[in-house]
Chains A and B, each alone.
Chain A
Amino acid sequence: MTRVFVPRDAAALAVGAEAVAKALAEHADVVRTGSRGLFWLEPMIEVETPAGRIAYGPVQAADIPGLLDDGLLTGAARRLRLGVPEQIPFLARQTRLTFERCGIVDPLSLEDYRAFGGFKGLEKARAMGSAAIIETVLASGLRGRGGAGFPTGIKWKTVAEAKGDRKFIVCNADEGDSGTYADRMMMEGDPFSLVEGMIIAGLAVGATKGYVYTRSEYPHAIATFDKALSIARAAGILGRDFDIEQRSGAGAYVCGEETSLLESLEGKRGQVRAKPPLPAHKGLFGQPTVINNLVTLTSLPCILRDGAEHYQALGMGRSRGTMPIQLAGNLKYAGLFEAGFGVTLGELVNDIGGGTLSGRPVRAVQVGGPLGAYFPPALFDTPFDYEAFAAKDGLIGHGGVVVFDDTVDMARQARFAMEFCVAESCGKCTPCRIGSVRGVETVDKILAGRDVDANLELLADLCQTMKFGSLCALGGFIPYPVLSAMHFFPEDFRRAERLAAA
């Protein structure tokens, strides 16, 4: 029977992929894959033909009988036909390294993984040894993809040189930023690349145990990755000199902060630790620990396989290699766009993303999750680069881009940022715990039109206190969305005042 590839990615399931797979089951050999990341085309299915794969989408179960009659299985059906997936402009413009297999392979097939270049990086890593692996990662210029952008090789070198009874590799898959889904897609679509990346990290620093801390809001990712771990163990890839255990979070956003995550893994409240000591010296259970974002770890297999230069050649400034940018929210073409650093925000939103889904003008774009600044279209020339965003009081974070149209009320968004911080603060430091509560109260006064000038000044002052006085990035960065909303969209903070005057 003809093979038809149907995604089992949670976002594809959210728009009907399961029913499509069922409708096809009797007629074709259905292979479940991850998603290519073109979510406006999901469920996007691919038919294997002698001329290669032909994509159709968005396909609903009700479309299947008609498509089959029209010759779906030979790629002859015209309706919903997208053609060769790699030629769809959104994919053709990308440089897929980290996500090279996602959406193509059966995520739980080691055979597929090997056939598409998997484990070649690990073979090279085993042959070259610890020092050379770290040298390669340093030379690649890879920086932490969780948001902080710390050079991965330097972190590894610190752990490799640290003394400890045991050492750990911890993968941060607590992807809590709204607008981000790269970790989820990877765990559901290409989980063995995380296994490979973590084994490479273990070889580099001398660790024998890895933990993956996955957020509980990702039940499908957790299930797929657990299966991948069993398969890898049965095949002898894990369980000898290195093993991995997956743990599930429990709905606390702050556990995406590395020290809070370590506390949570140790079975405690997820409260932030003061640094130093760095996790590299005293991390999980007090032992030297590499804690890396999932995308950082899954970037390693191709870096080791293809060499540091290949990766380093892409990007701009001090941001080297590729970034899987996640386009989300009110966007016509929302999806995963992996490309070398340097693409501008305007290209991402207007050109690649096609503008808003609602068809209304873009008003604000939040990059980097709930701690990221809101940028107006006036800043669309900002290139996607750690330093360029920081220079404009923003951050790229984990690469999420959330687009809002002109119906958004930015004072409400500022209130939400503070409200979110109230709900998610771990409570350890005062600026975050108390500051966020006072922040909500102050925005409420502004929204009600009470002493607007004085309260705006107070809010700005409170933001400074939180920025410089908080222990971690939650309290420290929540001022970014608030201050950017006040700076770029001041009129939204004076609505009540204007109404009163009218």
Chain B
Amino acid sequence: MAECESWNEDRARGIIAAVAVKEGAALPILHALQQVFGCVPLDAEPLIAANLNITRAEVHGIVTFYHEFRRTPPGRHVLRLCRAEACQSVGGDAVGAHLRSALAIDWHGTSRDGAVTLEPVFCLGLCATAPAALLDGDPIGRLNAARVDRMLETLT
């Protein structure tokens, strides 16, 4: 997975200005920031507010409304595991429990060695090859405890 850049206010201002030309630019700006920095830190909020001419409270409201935006950078790998019904029907809950215990973290947590951040999602559209996950954006289907263990071994 691509390394996240560390927070840089000038870089952030540039990103915001480039995207702000779109109509209704808030979400595209937040996506662009998260793409570069791995998250949307609190420090970004006043910059976005100033550019879009809205209050910082409004920006905060937008960032925190959407599950996808992180406030701190993730681990070196991001594993997004589906927790929705189709995955539940073929053992998704057990896969989730196994992962949390193997990584010794809860949802949204990052393993102690900083290798993996585990995020829950509700549906990846991989419902016919469930249980499913996205590992650094790559889809993985038909997960079970054994496949999870093999996968975790490759993540450093």
A residues adjacent to B (C-beta < 8 A)? 10-11, 13-15, 39-40, 42, 175-181, 183-184, 216-221, 245, 247-253, 264-271, 285, 326-331, 334-336, 357-358, 366, 370, 400, 402-405, 408, 413, 416, 420, 423-424, 426
Q: Determine whether the beta carbon of A11 is less than 8 Å from that of B85.
A: no
Q: Which residue of A lies closest to B140 (CB)?
A: A14
Tell me which of B25, B66, B90 contacts A329 (CB under 8 A): B90
What CA separation (Å) do A184 and B129 show in the bound complex? 14
Q: Determine whether the beta carbon of A250 is less than 8 Å from that of B137.
A: no
What CA separation (Å) do A408 and B86 show in the bound complex? 12
Tell me which of B65, B66, B127, B132 contacts A180 (CB under 8 A): B127
What CA separation (Å) do A42 and B130 show in the bound complex? 13
Count A-B contacts at CB 8 Å.
159
What CA separation (Å) do A14 and B134 show in the bound complex? 9
Could you list some 21 contacts between A and B, CB below 8 A? A10-B125, A14-B142, A178-B85, A179-B86, A180-B125, A181-B125, A181-B128, A245-B22, A247-B27, A249-B66, A265-B27, A267-B62, A268-B62, A269-B62, A326-B128, A328-B86, A328-B130, A404-B89, A413-B85, A420-B84, A423-B122
What CA separation (Å) do A402 and B84 show in the bound complex? 10
Q: Determine whether the beta carbon of A179 is less than 8 Å from that of B24.
A: no
Tell me which of A10, A330, A336 contacts B139 (CB under 8 A): A10
B141 within 8 Å of A (CB atoms): yes
Given contacts A250-B67, A251-B66, A370-B84, 16 further A-B contacts (CB under 8 A): A14-B126, A179-B85, A180-B127, A181-B125, A181-B128, A221-B125, A245-B22, A250-B30, A250-B69, A251-B67, A252-B66, A268-B62, A330-B89, A358-B90, A400-B86, A413-B85
Task: Report B-chain residues with C-beta under 8 Å of the C-beta of A424.
Answer: 122
When A and B form their complex, which 6 residue pairs have the shortest distance between CB atoms, in order from nearest? A14-B141, A267-B26, A178-B84, A250-B66, A328-B127, A251-B67
Given A267-B27, A403-B89: A14 touches B125 (CB 8 Å cut-off)? no
Q: Which residue of B lies closest to A37 (CB)?
A: B128
Tell me which residues from 102 to 125 in chain B have a Cβ below 8 Å from any Cβ of chain A. Answer: 121-125
Task: Report A-chain residues with C-beta under 8 Å of the C-beta of B153.
Answer: none
Q: Determine whether the beta carbon of B126 is less than 8 Å from that of A181.
A: yes
Binary flags per residue of B71-101, CB closer than 8 Å to A gives 1, else 0:
0000000001010111111100000000000
Given A10-B139, A39-B129: A266 touches B123 (CB 8 Å cut-off)? no
Tell me which of B27, B129, B139, B141 contacts A220 (CB under 8 A): B139
B68 within 8 Å of A (CB atoms): yes
Chain B's interface: helix, strand, loop or mixed, by majority? loop
Given A176-B122, A218-B125: A250 touches B31 (CB 8 Å cut-off)? yes
Q: Determine whether the beta carbon of A269 is less than 8 Å from that of B128.
A: no
What CA separation (Å) do A357 and B141 show in the bound complex? 15
Task: Report A-chain residues with C-beta under 8 Å of the C-beta of B140.
Answer: 14
Most buried by A among B80, B124, B138, B140: B124
Task: Report A-chain residues with C-beta under 8 Å of the C-beta of B142.
Answer: 14-15
Task: Report B-chain residues with C-beta under 8 Å of the C-beta of A370.
Answer: 84-85, 122
Tell me which of B30, B87, B123, B128 contacts A217 (CB under 8 A): B123
Most buried by A among B22, B25, B141, B142: B141
What CA separation (Å) do A217 and B142 show in the bound complex? 18
B143 shortest CB reach to chain A, Å: 9
Q: Determine whether the beta carbon of A219 is less than 8 Å from that of B137.
A: yes
B14 within 8 Å of A (CB atoms): no
What CA separation (Å) do A357 and B131 show in the bound complex? 13
Q: Which residue of A lies closest to B80 (CB)?
A: A217
